Amino acid sequence: MYLARVYVTLKPTVNDPQGLTIKGALCNLGFTSVEDVRAGKYFELHLAETDFAKVEQQVTEMCCKLLANPVIENYRFEIEEVKV
């Protein structure tokens, strides 16, 4: 059994209105040292596989096909073996 942690972020050149709104809200709360906020997505996936290389290949495919939009988003992931 493997656990994959997937992080999806907007590419640096893409506008992030959600991040801007959060930044504004943090400033209103008194956190004036916040210079920039970028919002992204985080997924934890459990896979019933035994082969690390296969998991790596599958997660890459999942990111390209569903979890991230490769046109405007970057993704990275970590894979960890977990005991059942």
**Site residues (vs a second copy, CB under 8 A):** 1, 7-9, 19, 22, 25-26, 29, 31, 33-49, 58, 61-62, 65-67
Query: Tokens 């992931």 map to which residue?
Result: 77
Angle at 63 between CA 57 and CA 64, to 5 degrees: 90
Q: How far is the CB of 84 from a second copy (least distance, A)?
A: 10
Q: How far is the CB of 33 from a second copy (least distance, A)?
A: 5
Quick one: 48 or 71, whose CB is closer to a second copy?
A: 48
DSSP state of 65: I
| 57 φ/ψ angles, rounded to the nearest 5 degrees | -70, -40
